[in-house]
Each structure stands twice: as structure tokens, then as C-alpha cells.
Structure 1
Amino acid sequence: MRAGPPSVLSPVEFWFRDHTSSGRRPSMPVYVGIDVHRKRSQVAVVDDEGSVRVNRNVPNGVAAVLAVIGDLPIGAPVAFEAAYGWGWLEQLLEDYGFEPHLVHPLRCKAIASARLKNDKVDAATLAQLLRADLLPEAWIAPMQVRQQRALLRHRCQLVRLRTLLRNRVHAVLADLGCDRPGSYFTAPGRAWLQELDLPDASQWVVDDLLGIMDALKEPIDALDRQLLATARGDPRVAALTRLPGVGTLTALMIVAEVGDVTRFPSARKLAAWAGLTPTVRGSDLTVRHGHISKQGSDWLRWILYEAAQTAKRSPEFAAAYQAIAHRRGKKIATTAIARRLLARAYHVLRAVQDRPDHREPR
């Protein structure tokens, strides 16, 4: 059986036809490596003996990729890096019966440190690593998780844009010596802004900034309603909001970014994946601990750091925060609280996951 029906005879099928007397494809396993780029991708097919049978550069798209690999057996493994815009390729492979393997780009040293590096070499190296079972793989989040992440990240970016606009209003008025004790953006603050006698250019800038902020309010409010509706049906969110510093949207972000918590055998592993553990360099009897690695999800680290700003004042973490801050400083102490908060979140999520009646929300 073929994985997907290409519209033209693929190079793989030509090779299969030439190497079998009956014209049928052999049952030998094959391995595919794809070096994904924004507009084009390099596709390499390697047989069980390690020989590169096909290595072709094709434009991104279903028809072009299937023209190269469409005649491979169902379940053929395909490796590709977690590069820009890989989602369409993963969906294509799932739809046509291939076995996708997402490669961790930072750990794929055979590509990163190669002396000869180009697309053909990279694609073939991915296929060879897959064949040798030496592929450093990353977890492929289900579509539902990726969509949830997209909504939460979109909301965060809109809120950041609104904050940038507010800061710009503050900067324009500060340059003119205008200030008031309260917020500029409440109803009394807006009334105060309207009464100011500003120069023409400054008034123009402030009016434009306020107009864009008003336009952002509707999509942010719509996202909040959608996300809060999702949170109401998720027991993981309800459990996480019992932690200090964790509100509903923070809990949703933790759930979406972590995904399947059972893939981490311990809280320490989750903290390392999130980039909240220090780097270690050791040789003989010398061991040096550096800054946190900052690998993994930037969004998870950011939301945990924001939650730690509140959690460090709670009775559960205040003593630990003060002790670490006295020895190492406030920034390192806040990062330590973020790491401890993630460890607590891990155990909460595992407890919810292990309930007999637990079901993943749709």
C-alpha cells in the first residue's frame, strides 16, 4: 500500500520499479529526512543499508512533497527539524499515513557541527540519524494544544502592544511636563487627557495612540471570553489556580505550554525542559554552575516569572525568597520561586491526570 497518491510518478517509484523484477515495491524499510524552509524543502530518502536513493529540492506543498515520497509504504518514518512553519508538514504526514519525527534542532549536533553543511547534506543526515535510531526528538503537540497555544500567545501579544502604546502616551506627556496621580486610561483619566492643551503634533500622536488602544479592546475582550469559557471546563485550570500567584489565564498558559505532563518523569525534568535550571560545566573535580539555560518555551518561563512576582510575597514562598535574595539577589530569587512554582504545578497536574475520572477537555 502507498501512503498517499501522488499526481506523478515519483523518483522513489522509479527506483523501486528498477530494483524489483515484478515492478512492485520491495518491503525493505526506508527513512526520509526533510530539511524544511519557508518556501522550499529538501527531501532525502535513505534505504535500510544507508544508501541515499533520492535527494531532491521541492517547493513546499502537498503535491510537490508527495511527488517524492508518496509511493513509500504506509508508516514510513519521516524526520524534520522544528524549524519555521513546520506545522503544515506534520499535518501532511499524518494525513497520508507517514510516521512523523520532530527533531530538536539544538541537539542535532551532526547537522549543527558539520564541516560541510547544505540542504542536501542536512536532509540526508536527518534520514541517516533516523535509520540509526540516534535522532534527538522533540514532542509533537496535538493540533488542539497548538491551537490553544496560538490563542493564548495572540492575546499576550495584543496586551503587550497595548502596554507599548500606553507607555508611548506616558512618554509624550512626560516630555511636555504633564502628569496626574492616577491612571491616564480610566474614565477620569481620559477626561483629563481631553482637557489638556497640547501642541498640535503631540495631540495628533496621543489621539492616534488612544485610537489604536480602543481598537485593541474588542479583540482582547473577545479572546478573554473565549479563554475563560475554555477554562471553566478544565479541571487542571481549577487545580492550578489554587497555587499562589496563578490566575485563570496563567493556569491556561501553563497547561497549554506544558501539554502532556506525563511525558516528564519528574518535576526536575519539567524545570529543565522549561529552561529554569542552571547550566552545569564540570571536569574532574571542578564543577561550575552557570545561569539558567533559557531553553524550552519562552512563554512558559515568562508566565512563571510573572506569577512568581506575586507568589514570592505569599506565606508559602516568602521565607525562601528572602533567604535566596539575601544571598544571591532579588532577580535570582524570583527565578528560584518561578522554578519552585513550576514544580508545584507539575505535581498538581500529575494529581489531576491520575484521577480515574479525568478526561482531556475538548
Structure 2
Amino acid sequence: MTAPYDYHIGVDYHKTYSHLVVQDSAGKTLRSGRVKNDRQSLGSFLERYRENSHAVMEATRNWMVMYDWLDDICDDVVLAHPLKVKAIADAKIKTDKIDATVLAHLLRADLVPEAWAPTEKARDLRVALRERMFYVRLRTMVKNRGVTVFDRYPEQTAQLKKLGDLFNKTGLQQLATLNVSAIDRIQIDRGLEFIGDIDGRIKQAEATIKAMTKTNGNVKLLKTIPGIGEFFARLIDAEIDDIDRFRNPKKLAAYAGLVPSTYSSGGKIFHGKIIKQGNKWLRWAFVEAVAPAVASDLQLRAQYEHLKLNGTNKARVAIARKLLTITFQILRDQRPYERRGVDSDEGASATISRLSR
């Protein structure tokens, strides 16, 4: 149970304004109204309710701004999981005032399904990591657009494609000599110049990330896991933030969305594909780490090849789950990864067996 606060504040946060509802311990609404999203307006609205108060808001887009303002005013701030606040998500009638009132009632009754509020350090690192990922995606888009142009000249580019990467040093030199139309030459040159600019931004972003994690011991530990390199180590550490908030690997797997969907009816249980909810960045990192992991670790490769008999996708998910389990143990015990036998980790082996069925 939460502490017996005098004031319970529900906040329905929007881009330019928020609707606030202040209730007392009996559930009586003391104040309700729309507030402009700035520190001064929020402070003025809640001036009489600062002492012994707590507030709740949903983890919506850019929630950090309002969360930090409320944290300076109230004794405690609770971050609600938007998909789990069914009283709001499933409501037939939705208004800002109703949503804020429901949040205040749930907070007063200690029934708020909480979302994790990362530390400021983890938040900053996540911002830096997402910047790099944005530039990488942008570079891929520009390259794909260039490939569309190249495909109009199959005879000239057929030999180039054998290089494997049209955009490495050798490929770029060859692309510069292609005999194409004037407009296509303009587009190719602009695209290649743009890719060079993006590469520079990626290097700058990586330098920022490296400086932020220079003394991070967790990153060094995570890099000892097969398939986990510099970037994934930093991403995984930032998304987990604090391993102690997970009681066991299963909780971490559920948070990452690396657990099968389950349907139970009539005494029978069916397991389907992995759930769509969860931290998409963690799930992506572990799944992407599978290929380099099985290429560098004999035990993981043997397990992967065995599980492929039941389907490649199931095998990838199972190995990703094993990498997650290893991550949990390494961060919990604060020791580097040590290669062991295939079945030495009973928990991970059980997981692989279940997911491969």
C-alpha cells in the first residue's frame, strides 16, 4: 500500500495542455481544470496541494517533461502503464476530465498498474541511442532509394552487385563511373553525398554514446556475451536500467516481449507466437544478436541447429531468449560470461525446449 497521502492528483497529459483533478482521501474532487503545459502554470494550479500529495500520469509521448515537473511539486509521482489502465482504455465515454478523474481514483485506491520510470541517466542514454538508430534507418532508406535507380541499369549493375555491398569503398568508386541518364546521375550523386553526411552524423552520435558509457561496468560485462557488441550492450543496459526490478529471467523476458502468447480453455493450454507487447528495443536487440552469437559460440550454434528442425523463427526466438537469460544472470551476479555446456543452464534449456515445441 502507498503512504496515506492527503491529496491524490490525476493528470491527463497532452501535447500543449493537461487536465488535472485533485481529490482528497475520501474521493471528493477539490479542484479540476485544464492547465497549460509549463512549470509555472502547473505550480500555480497545485500550490495549495503540495504538502503530502502524490500524482499519477500515463506513460505517453514525452511523459518525462510533465513527470519531472510533478516530481518537483509532489511527494511522489506514479507512472501508469497506458495499455493496462483498462478503466480508461476501454471506456465508452472519454474526456480529459473523466480520464484524469479515473486516474485520481485509481491512485487513491492504490490500483494503478505502474510503468517503470527510468533514471535520468538511462533516459539521456536512450535519447542518444535512438538518435543513432534514427540515422541508421535514414541511411538505409537513402540506400534503398539509390538501389531503385541502379536497378534501371541491370547490365551495368549486375557485376557491381556481386561485390555484396554497393556502398562500400569499392562499390562507391564503381557507382561514380556508371553511364546513366543526366537526371539519374544527379540523384545518384546527391544520394551518395547524403549518405556521407549521415555517416558523419552516425559517428558523432556514437562518440556521444561512448562518452556517456565510458565508465559503465554493465556495458563491459554485456560485451562478453556472444553476439552482443558495443551498441547492443549499451542499448540493453539503457533499456533494462536496473536489473533488480526483475525477480527472475521470466519477468525480464515478459518485459522484452520474448514470451509466447498463451491461450487456455477447457483445461487445455496452447502456446502461440511471441506477444506483441513489451519493450521493442530489447526484443530487437536480442533477436538481432542471434546471428553473430551462433556464428561465434559453438554451444549456441549446436542448440540453434537442433531447434531449426522445428522452424527457423522458433529457433531464433529461443536463442534470443537464452541470450536474455544469460544477460539477466550476468547483470545480477556482476560477472562476465563464461562458456559452458549446452544444458548447464537449466532455466535457459527449459525455455528453449518450451519455445521449440
TM-score under structure 1 normalisation?
0.86
Instruction: Give the equivalent residue in structure 2 for 1:341.
Output: 323
1:97 Cα deviation (Å)? 4.1
Q: Give me the whole-angstrom Cα distance separating, in 2, the residues matched to 1:286 and 1:242.
A: 41
Instruction: Give the equivalent residue in structure 2 for 1:227.
Output: 209
Worse-superposed segment, 170-179 or 248-257: 170-179
Question: Would the aligned equivalents of 2:5 and 2:52 in 1 still touch at CA under 8 Å?
Answer: no
> Against the structure 1 CA distance between its residues 170 and 104, is the aligned structure 2 distance closer, same or farther, given a 3 Å change threshold?
same
SS at match of 1:149: helix
Q: Size of the alignment, in residue pairs?
A: 326
Q: Counterpart amino acid of 1:325?
A: K
User: Matched residues, percent identical?
Assistant: 33
Instruction: Give the equivalent residue in structure 1 for 2:107.
Output: 130
Q: Give me the whole-angstrom Cα distance separating, in 2, the residues matched to 1:125 and 1:231.
A: 40
Worse-superposed segment, 220-229 or 28-37: 220-229
> Against the structure 1 CA distance between its residues 131 and 172, is the aligned structure 2 distance closer, same or farther, given a 3 Å change threshold?
same
Q: Give me the whole-angstrom Cα distance separating, in 2, the residues matched to 1:64 and 1:282.
A: 50
* Superposed counterparts of 1:303-314, under 5 Å: 303-313=285-295, 314=297
Answer yes or no: is 1:286 the counterpart of 2:268. Answer: yes
Q: Give me the whole-angstrom Cα distance separating, in 2, the residues matched to 1:28 and 1:58.
A: 23
Answer yes or no: is 1:44 the counterpart of 2:17. Answer: no
SS at match of 1:138: coil
Answer yes or no: is 1:102 the counterpart of 2:79. Answer: yes
Q: Give me the whole-angstrom Cα distance separating, in 2, the residues matched to 1:282 and 1:40.
A: 43
Q: Give me the whole-angstrom Cα distance separating, in 1, the residues matched to 2:244 and 2:153.
A: 56
TM-score under structure 2 normalisation?
0.87
Worse-superposed segment, 213-222 or 129-138: 213-222
Instruction: Give the equivalent residue in structure 2 for 1:93.
Output: 70
Q: Counterpart amino acid of 2:25?
A: D
Instruction: Give the equivalent residue in structure 2 for 1:211.
Output: 193
Answer yes or no: is 1:259 the counterpart of 2:241. Answer: yes
Unaligned runs of 5+ residues in structure 2 are 336-357
Instruction: Give the equivalent residue in structure 1 for 2:353.
Output: none
* Superposed counterparts of 1:144-223, under 5 Å: 144-177=121-154, 178-179=156-157, 180=160, 181-182=162-163, 183-223=165-205
Q: Give me the whole-angstrom Cα distance separating, in 2, the residues matched to 1:28 and 1:223.
A: 43
Q: Give me the whole-angstrom Cα distance separating, in 2, the residues matched to 1:322 and 1:70.
A: 63
> Against the structure 1 CA distance between its residues 81 and 323, is the aligned structure 2 distance closer, same or farther, given a 3 Å change threshold?
same
Instruction: Give the equivalent residue in structure 2 for 1:56.
Output: 33
Q: Counterpart amino acid of 1:310?
A: P
Worse-superposed segment, 344-353 or 237-246: 344-353
Q: Give me the whole-angstrom Cα distance separating, in 1, the residues matched to 2:5 and 2:175.
A: 74
1:62 Cα deviation (Å)? 1.3
Q: Give me the whole-angstrom Cα distance separating, in 2, the residues matched to 1:221 and 1:116.
A: 49
Question: Would the aligned equivalents of 2:55 and 2:74 in 1 still touch at CA under 8 Å?
Answer: no
Aligned with residue 83 of structure 1, among 57, 60, 64: 60
1:184 Cα deviation (Å)? 2.6
Question: Would the aligned equivalents of 2:21 and 2:101 in 1 still touch at CA under 8 Å?
Answer: yes
Q: Counterpart amino acid of 2:304?
A: Y
Q: Give me the whole-angstrom Cα distance separating, in 1, the residues matched to 2:10 and 2:79.
A: 10
Unaligned runs of 5+ residues in structure 1 are 1-26, 354-362
Worse-superposed segment, 262-271 or 199-208: 199-208
Worse-superposed segment, 208-217 or 267-276: 208-217
Q: Deviations over 1:250-285 (max 9, x none)?
A: 101100011111000001100001111012121340
